[in-house]
Amino acid sequence: MTDRKTVFITGNSSGIGLGLTREYLSRGCEVYGVSRRGCPLENERLHDICCDLADFETVAPALQSLLGDTGVLDLVVLNAGVLGDIRELHDTPMADIRRVMDINLWANKAVMDWLHDSGIRLRQVVFMSSGAAVNGNKGWSGYALSKAALNMMAQLYVHEFPDTHIAAFAPGLVHTRMQDDIRDHVDSRLFPSMQALKDAIGTAFMPEPREAARLLADAFGKLPAYPSGSFLDIRTIK
């Protein structure tokens, strides 16, 4: 038996998920992770499994293998996600929107449904959302739609997890591969909101994942002070 804090993170092979995995390991936590490519870290307190969360039929067996013997999860961070193409909505193929929705939204339903039926006690769940869910800026298309729906998913699951604090959470700007893709491939003359992201790269306004993870982990501890199901932003919580 151990009183060590237990944390489950999806999408922990890179970016924010990898940063959070490092951070929670450094805090002495027992960390469980799932991602398509697998986490590159090695630690006796890291339990990791590869799974494409968009392949819904494989989610339950993977989670059973990873978490089947777990009685309590202090924190679940549903972080896995993709950007999709930045383009006008009318010009966005349905297949691209479907792919983004599958990963950013429906994969989280598959995870939450398994957790609901697993008998594992969940103390806190954080859905990683985005300001794109509410800003409505030109070009964000499938990504914005998926994150807006994710915010509602968090609200709806409150009724089914009455003993768990749930929040949809916007982490602010973090320097990940997504930001580099925007810098390298998106024309900010066509999509003006992208210029602010490009200008923030390499500045204190867009920390690297490791530093962002420290700030996020501290922020997660403050979320239970707000009503379960809330959409919260790291830049506004106190």
Q: Which residue has the tokens 């859905």?
A: 127
For 66, list phi and psi in degrees, rounded to 5.
-80, -45
Per residue, the 3-state secondary structure of 65-99, as one string, reads HHHCCCCEECEEEECCCCCCCCCCHHHCCHHHHHH
Active-site residue 129, yes or no? yes
Query: Active-site residue among 143, 146, 157, 228?
Result: 143
C-alpha 27/C-alpha 138 separation (Å) is 40
Alpha helices in the chain (DSSP H): 15-26, 56-67, 94-101, 107-118, 132-135, 141-158, 177-185, 193-200, 209-220
Q: Which of 13, 129, 146, 228 is catalytic?
A: 129
Q: Which residue has the tokens 């409150």?
A: 158
> Catalytic: 147?
yes
Residue 152 has phi, psi (to 5 degrees) of -70, -35
Residues 35, 130, 147, 228: which is the catalytic one?
A: 147
Annotation marks residue 157 as catalytic: no
Cα separation, 15 vs 178, in Å, equals 9
Active-site residues, by number, are 129, 143, 147
